[in-house]
Structures are given as C-alpha cells and as structure tokens.
Structure 1
Amino acid sequence: MKKRVAFYTLGCKLNFSETSTIARGFQEEGFERVDFSEHADMYVINTCSVTENADKRFKTIVKQAQKRNPEAFVAAIGCYAQLKPQELAAVNGVDLVLGATEKFKITDYINDLTKNDFGEVHSCEIEEADFYVGSYAIGDRTRAFLKVQDGCDYKCTYCTIPLARGISRSDTLGNALKNAAEISSQGIKEIVLTGVNIGDYGKGEFGNKRHEHTFLDLVKALDGVEGIQRLRISSIEPNLLKNETIDFVSKSDSFVPHFHIPLQSGSDVILKRMRRRYMTDLYVDRVRRIKSVMPHACIGVDVIVGFPGETDDEFLKTYHFLNEIDISYLHVFTYSERDNTAAATMAGTVPKRIRSQRSKMLRGLSVKKRRAFYESQLGTVRTVLFEGENKEGYINGFTENYVKVKAPWNPNLVNTLHQVELTKIDEDGLVRFEFVKKGVEV
C-alpha cells in the first residue's frame, strides 16, 4: 500500500507554488497525494508568518489533522517554521519542523513515519538560504502559479520575510521557461508570476549580485512560450515597475492589463517610517503611466492600516490618496507587531480598536472602487477564462483585466476562453455578460 500524504498551505501564492513542487517530490518517492480533509499517513503544513492570524491558525490545522488520523506524522515547513521552529515543535502532535532550505528536502528527513515524542527541528541560519529552488503550482485546470524569484533584500521595518526567506535570488531564465513550458503542456491557459519581490528578478541563481537578466528580459521571454494564453504579473513594487515593462505589457498578446502594486500607506511620513523605497508621488506616476497606455487596466493595491505613528491625520491622507487615484481594488492588512522587526519597538502604537475601524473604512472604499471599475467596463468586449468550480449553480470567470463574471453552470465552459460583452452588475457584485459569438449555450 502506498503511504498517503496530504498538504495544507497558509499564506501567499508563492507558498502554494512551493507546496505543489514539494508534493510532486513525494509522489516521485512513491507516496499517494490525498486531500487534507482525508485520512493520511502524513500531513504537511506550509506555514506563513505575514499576519498574526496565520500564526494562530496553525494549531487549529494540526488538530484537524490529528482528528483525521491520531497516528499521522505531522510536519511543519515554511516561513513560520523558519522564524519560530521551537514554538511549532512544541505544539502537541507536531513531529518535524523544517526551515527555509530544508523544506525542499523533506523526504530526506522522514523514515517510517513513526511519531516522535517531541517535534524534531532542522532549521538553518537564514544566511545559509542562498540557493534557488524553482517551483510551480497547478491548483486547478485554468491557471498556475510560477515562482521566478525568492527572498528579499529590502529592510521594511514591519516585515519578517527577509528573516524567513533570506536574500533576493532568482531562477535562471532557462529554468523559468522550462517550467512555463511544462505548465503549458498540461493544458493550462494562464500563468501567474510569483515571488517575494519579483521586480528584483535578475539577481544571480545563487544569490550573488550579478544581474544576468532583468525582469523585462523575463517578461519578454515568457511572452513567447507556446500554448499559454495569459500571463499575469502578481505583486510588484512600484519602484521596480519600469516604464519599459508597462509599455511591453500594453502591446503584448499574452500579458494581461492587470497590475498589483503595493502602496502600504498614502502618507510619506509613514512610508519613511516603514522604510519603503518610494514616496507617494512615484506611486501616482506609476498609476498614471499604466492608465495612459492601458486605460482599461485593473490596478490592485496593498495597504497597511494602524502602523506605529499613524495618527488620524496620516490615516486620512491614505484614505484620500486612495480615493482620488485611479485604482480598482484594495487588499487591506491590519498592522500586527512581529518579533525582531524595527516597527515592533516604535513609539506611537495605534490601539487595536482604531486599527480595526480604519481597516473597515478602507475595505468599504475597496468595495466602492471595485464597483466603479466594473461599471467603467460595462458595454466593453472582453475575453473571459472560465473557472472549474460549480458555485451554487453558477460558473465564474475572469476577464483579462480581472473583472469577475458569472453565468449559469455549464461544464463545457470550464478552462475555455470566450469573447463577451459585459452587460450588467448582479446583486452579488459580479458581472453578467453576453457572448459575442452566437451559438454558445449557457
């Protein structure tokens, strides 16, 4: 009988891409991969350290695994496992904790899957995380996450990622193209590029500072991969999103007009305290540049509320800044103190009650912004890639510029691209449409 292994991933697209690659390694070793909701001989939890909530969820997930099989071997990997390995090892039921470099060799650390009396820790010093492991995730039939970069050399005062993932390092151009071709061969229509700081792509394969290729080189090369209909750039720093990249995307047949650009604060005072590498005027310039060559482009924004020193006035600067610029939606993060970060010891702590209020205000603004963007797209013809899930009798899909649409469920539409005219916004905020080509049944 094959041993059964199940995976649970917390956090970002990058974690999902790495979980998928690690899972393929288990399958090559003769394991059968099953869903986390099933009985398994081993459960692997890929952890996140970005938010307080992700830390707290870990114990709950371990309990879920133990409930399904009390004798199962439980391993913790990922960012939280690198930052606080002893804490995770002390959680009841955890047998193995692997850090930033060890997680890619997980099958080397397991024997007969006999449970340990105490969690066994293998965690490197983060300075040793100076090599690159490529990966990609295929979560459904429509899109894949392709990792092209790892680590970060930035020193933002709130962030633990450099401590969890090490220095910035990149995949080789050849390997990135090989992985993209593998994805394409499986009939997947869309690739989302992911990494910790993908605009920093081009640092040598082993973490050295030789710039062998730039992010623009990568974008141009991927644009030529056969079979991939869509390429989407995930989060990219505003100071690393160059005019040349924006202009290339505007003319590309496969790169879509959708950017996600972290802002974090609309106050220059707070940006300086965060030690970000730009001010608000550069951010405005990036948005204007995109909209000048792609008026229909979707622009998403990351923003943090409640950072130390964020007075009511500084928060309102952020609110008004976001209200006035031409962006499409927000990802709002409530600041939480993280150990070993400069921000954790800063003066001007914002009470959690106020952090929560500010988060609610910006989430409301995000709803307004998304609605306005969707309304601006009504009457236009777009191309939709349909998803693979039946959601209460409906099928969803996304246009190239990230408008989410819905139609009555039709399995024949799954993983297909169709030109549609966007017609109206439904009560749930999703967009209805009509097929441009007649004879498509829904």
Structure 2
Amino acid sequence: MNDRKKVAFYTLGCKLNFSETSTIARSFKDEGFERVGFSEKADIYVINTCSVTENADKRFETIVKQAQKVNSNAFIAAVGCYAQLKPQELADVNGVDLVLGATEKFKLTDYINDLSKNDFGEIHSCEIDEADFYVGSYSIGDRTRAFLKVQDGCDYKCTYCTIPLARGISRSDTMQNVLKNAKEIASKNIKEIVLTGVNIGDYGKGEFGNKKHDHTFLDLVKELDEVEGIERLRISSIEPNLLKDETIDLVSKSRTFVPHFHIPLQSGNNKILKKMKRRYMRELYSDRVRKIKELMPDACIGVDLIVGFPGETKDYFLDTYNFVNELDISYLHVFTYSERDNTLATKMSGVVPANVRSKRSKMLRGLSVKKRRVFYESQIGTIRTVLFENENKEGYIHGFTENYVKVKTPWNPELVNTLHEIELTKIDDDGLVRFEFVKNQVLV
C-alpha cells in the first residue's frame, strides 16, 4: 500500500463527523496514501455518512454516483452513522464495495487488502452494544479552526433520535488525551478549537471503560483554558440541563473560551418536550439564556428546533414560536421532523402533514433571519476580534468575531488565519457585517 495510491473523503453531517473523517484520513496517510479532493481521481473514495435527517440518507446515492463519474473503477467505502443503522441499504447501492459500522470505521485501512471492486458490498458492522470503547479524533483540514472530539455516544432516550442506536453509550476521552490533542492542534498554528461530541456536557462518563465520572465538563473547560498556544476555544452544541452556572461563569472570565453558545431547545412547548423525552422544561431553558446574558450581554446564542413533531398542534407550534421570539437569542437551526426507523416517535399519534411541517419550518427560518439581524445590529459600533478564514468567496474574505458575528472585507490572502481588532460599522445587503481595522496590526 506504499505506491502512493490516492484516497478522497466526503463527510455528511455534524462537526463530530468532520473530526472523525480527519482521523481516518491520517490513518491512510500513515499507510502511504495521498489525500486528494473528492472531485479528483482517486483509487478509493470514503463517504462518512449521517442519519440525523432524511436528506442525509438520500444524498448518499448521489455522492456514490459522483465518485463513479470521476473513476468508475474506484473502490468505494461507507462508514458512519447510516452505515451502522442500515448497512445493507448502503451495501445495496450500486458501486459500494465496503460498509463499516461504529466500531470498525477507525480500522478502515485494515479492511482493505486490495482495491479490487467487489461484486457486492461487504459489510462489517457490530451490535451497537459493542461500541463501548472510545476513539479520540480531531480535524485539522481548515487552517483556522479545528474540531476536537471529546465525547461520543449518548445515554439519552429522546423519542425522535437514532444517535444512541448509531453511536452507542455515552463515553469520553481521557483528560490527558484531550489535552495532548489540544496541544498538538495548537502546535500547528491553528487559532481556534471547537469542542465537539454527541453530548459534550456529559463529558467524563465512561472514562477508562466504566460509568464513573472521573472528570466533569467543568473540569475539562478549566484544564483547556490553561493550554498555551490556543487563541480561541468554542463550545459546540451543549444540552441546557448540562450547561451549569459554573461553566457559564468560567466562560465569562475565560482567557480563551469565547462568548458563543449553541443550546438545543427542540420545542418551546412543555407538552411536546415531554413527548420528546427531553430532560428539561422550557423554564430551565429561558433561565440558561438569562444567566448567559447577565454575565455576557454580547454573547451569541444559537438554538436548535424541531418542527412538526407528532402531536404538535397549531397552538403548540405558536407556543414555540412566541417563546423563541421573546428569548434573547441570536439565530436558529431549524430541523423539519422526519420519521426515523426504530424510534418511539414513529408510533405516536397526531402526525403533522408534510406541507404543514414545511410551512412551520419556513416561519421559524424567517424568525431566525430577524433574530440574527437584531443581534448584528446590536453589535454595530462595538470593538471585536476577528479570525479570518482561508477561502476567497467572490472576491471577499470572511471571518468570525469571538461572539460569532460573520464579517467580510475584500480578499487579501495576508489576512488568512490572522486575528485582528476591528470596529463593526454596518450591515451589508447580504446580511454580513462590514468593519474598520482599529489598528492595522495582526494580534496573532
């Protein structure tokens, strides 16, 4: 395998999947492979799948066809959540040679004896109960930002969700290994680390193969805040019931953690929250928002919502809409409910018609646009720090402030992966923010 065969990757889904794709890619590099873009000719194409939404399922076949167009003789492997949940469905897709489940995906190179096409898709998939060990990973594809996985799996039993079936029990990396990975990332001149996992607030559970909490999420953020060489740390999605006052307090005083939180709500109606088997009521959610804004008035708060869940009447939906409208939050991620096999929600009465789901989704997305605009307007005239990205988009370079305001300025390659102090000046027609440099001097 050392004759510089080429491998290409395509990742569907969440930040966690991106961090795991990077780890799998490094194992190929160790075996002598050269990584190329997915649109380039490769000897093997690896597709890291997702099954959180219906669309992610449907896209898989299209992606396989894309690979076959570039190289009809290429070996195609599928890994990830969909590969664990429905391996036979993926194996049956024309052109797929290998399907690996939750425990096998990190050993992908072990399963490739040669790159000859198979007559049918070969499956290696465990019972999900066997996914009880932890594999650490992080992504370093983007020069400005890395996704650092600290936790995997979930012990929650939300009635709409397949993630426990796809990823197994909640388990965490050791503190020692997380800190080692964070230092490795910092040494590569990456300015920002995003902490990721399935349920990161549950960090500590399952360390060393048991259910004891050896460390907590608060312990983790305290330790990471002390790592030299990291300019920014960002917490990805965290459950409201696991976002404790002490963590919010630490972020407000932190050297590196930025004032940006993404907190799943899913519904603003308590009866629907109970049907979803969420572990909080909306009163706790509004309390978390209030606590963040008390300590960090300029903090950015993102919200996940599911619309069209079984039993969501018009009044229940309006309850959610009005609740979110009154919350001091910054943007929404809106998911239209889709039935997932082997979930309790599929057996519930009160199915919401697809056209109604779509209409409600559109209403909430419209509310998100308004919320983001109000948040951006509140930031005009403030002094912020921006980290510039590495992509030229139609002649502009973009970046994010510490509190997740997206800014733009004419393309200048010298700005890539640098931090600058700026004053936000106006919102452009595309909704992004223009600025002026406070000092035309690189901070880092």
TM score, norm. by length of structure 2: 0.98
Output one character per residue of 1:82-116: Cα deviation in whole Å (capped at 9) or x when no partner.
00001110110000000000001011111111111
Which secondary structure does the structure 1 equivalent of 2:349 belong to?
Answer: coil
**Which of residues 170, 173, 179 in structure 2 aligns to 1:171?**
173
Distance 1:45 1:277 in 2: 33
Conservation of the 8 A alpha-carbon contact between 1:168 and 1:207: no
Counterpart of 1:308 in structure 2 is: 310
The amino acid across from 2:299 in the alignment is A
Counterpart of 1:27 in structure 2 is: 29
**Which of residues 101, 112, 120 in structure 2 aligns to 1:99?**
101
Cα shift at 1:204: 2.6
Distance 1:206 1:159 in 2: 26
The 5 A counterparts of 1:426-437 are 426-437=428-439
Which secondary structure does the structure 1 equivalent of 2:185 belong to?
Answer: helix
Conservation of the 8 A alpha-carbon contact between 1:266 and 1:317: yes
Sort the Cα spacing of 1:439 and 1:113 in 2 relative to 1 into closer, same or farther, 3 A. Answer: closer
Distance 2:99 2:399 in 1: 38
Distance 1:248 1:396 in 2: 29
Distance 1:106 1:288 in 2: 46
Sort the Cα spacing of 1:246 and 1:410 in 2 relative to 1 into closer, same or farther, 3 A. Answer: same
**Which of residues 385, 410, 417 in structure 2 aligns to 1:408?**
410
Which secondary structure does the structure 2 equivalent of 1:101 belong to?
Answer: coil
Counterpart of 1:271 in structure 2 is: 273
Cα shift at 1:439: 6.9
**Which of residues 144, 153, 156 in structure 1 aligns to 2:155?**
153
Conservation of the 8 A alpha-carbon contact between 1:167 and 1:207: no
Q: How many residues align?
A: 440
Quick check: 1:52 aligned with 2:54?
A: yes
Distance 2:397 2:69 in 1: 33
Which secondary structure does the structure 2 equivalent of 1:433 belong to?
Answer: strand
Cα shift at 1:209: 1.2
Counterpart of 1:18 in structure 2 is: 20
Counterpart of 1:86 in structure 2 is: 88
TM score, norm. by length of structure 1: 0.99
Gaps spanning 5+ residues in structure 2: where? none
**Which of residues 253, 256, 267 in structure 2 aligns to 1:254?**
256
The 5 A counterparts of 1:260-299 are 260-299=262-301
Output one character per residue of 1:48-85: Cα deviation in whole Å (capped at 9) or x when no partner.
00000000000000001111111100000000000000
Counterpart of 1:392 in structure 2 is: 394
Cα shift at 1:197: 0.1
Distance 2:37 2:201 in 1: 34
The amino acid across from 1:274 in the alignment is M
Give the aligned CA root-mean-square deviation in angstroms: 0.8
The 5 A counterparts of 1:188-207 are 188-207=190-209
Output one character per residue of 1:203-249: Cα deviation in whole Å (capped at 9) or x when no partner.
13244211100000000111111111000000000000000000000
Conservation of the 8 A alpha-carbon contact between 2:207 and 2:213: no
Quick check: 1:62 aligned with 2:68?
A: no
Distance 2:41 2:208 in 1: 39
Sort the Cα spacing of 1:309 and 1:207 in 2 relative to 1 into closer, same or farther, 3 A. Answer: farther
Counterpart of 2:114 in structure 1 is: 112
Distance 1:423 1:31 in 2: 47
Cα shift at 1:360: 0.2
Distance 2:319 2:115 in 1: 55
The 5 A counterparts of 1:185-224 are 185-224=187-226
**Which of residues 183, 186, 190 in structure 1 aligns to 2:185?**
183
Conservation of the 8 A alpha-carbon contact between 1:170 and 1:207: no
Gaps spanning 5+ residues in structure 1: where? none
Quick check: 1:371 aligned with 2:373?
A: yes
Conservation of the 8 A alpha-carbon contact between 1:49 and 1:80: yes
Distance 1:34 1:247 in 2: 43
